[in-house]
């Protein structure tokens, strides 16, 4: 059953992913949404199989887009590629968040509306303005998971 969000990010952007999870905490605690990221991978587990299972349970893909995200061959092939295919059939909603300036225009993401303005990446904002932006991102995520 597709009932969770899958957070896809580059490990170089872990700090911003952690900020998102902090803002998602009330939603996660209340059960309004469930989230999966690679931090759920268990030591010694079949990590690739766990990722495939998580992909299959995803209603919304939350993509934290940066140059490092776009440079990752793994993300491109094993996460973004499958999500784009699922989005084409309506199986997954793509929610991409520009966290650092990037060349997203050269990727299929150019066909999807960003959650926040691409010319205002969250990582370039002050902490206060970033907090405001994360609140809006979380509201969009909740609406995508619970239409």
Report yes or no: 137 and 97 within 8 Å, Cβ to Cβ. yes
Q: Which two tokens stand for residue 15?
A: 């700090």
Domains of the chain: total: 1
d(CA 100, CA 71): 13
The CATH number of the domain holding residue 134 is: 3.40.50.10140
Looking at every residue in the chain, the average pLDDT score rounds to 88
d(CA 57, CA 19): 23
Instruction: Please indicate whether residue 75 or residue 91 has the higher confidence score (pLDDT).
Output: 75
- The owner of tokens 């619970």 is 146
The predicted model scores a pTM of 0.89
In the predicted model, what is the mean pLDDT of residues 18-28? Answer: 95
Q: Is residue 121 predicted with pLDDT exceeding 70?
A: yes
Instruction: Please indicate whether residue 61 or residue 40 has the higher confidence score (pLDDT).
Output: 61
- What residues make up the domain containing 91? 4-145
Q: What pLDDT does 68 receive?
A: 98
Q: Is residue 50 predicted with pLDDT exceeding 60?
A: yes
Report yes or no: 65 and 17 within 8 Å, Cβ to Cβ. no
Best CA proximity match to 75, nearest among 125, 109, 40, 121: 109
H or E segment and range at residue 24? helix 14-30
CB atoms within 10 A of CB 36: 20
Percent of the chain topping pLDDT 70: 84
d(CA 135, CA 7): 16
């Amino acid at each position: 059953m597709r009932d969770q969000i899958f957070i896809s990010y580059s490990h170089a952007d872990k700090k911003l992913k952690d900020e998102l999870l902090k803002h998602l905490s009330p939603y996660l605690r209340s059960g309004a949404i469930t989230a999966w990221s690679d931090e759920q991978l268990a030591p010694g587990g079949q990590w690739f199989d766990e990722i495939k299972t998580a992909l299959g349970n995803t209603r919304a893909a939350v993509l934290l887009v940066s140059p490092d995200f776009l440079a990752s061959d793994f993300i491109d092939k094993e996460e973004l590629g499958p999500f784009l295919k699922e989005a084409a059939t309506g199986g997954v909603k793509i929610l991409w968040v520009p966290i650092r300036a990037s060349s997203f225009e050269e990727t299929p993401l150019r066909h999807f509306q960003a959650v926040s303005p691409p010319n205002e990446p969250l990582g370039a904002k002050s902490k206060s303005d970033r907090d405001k932006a994360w609140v809006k991102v979380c509201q969009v995520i909740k609406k995508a998971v619970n239409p």
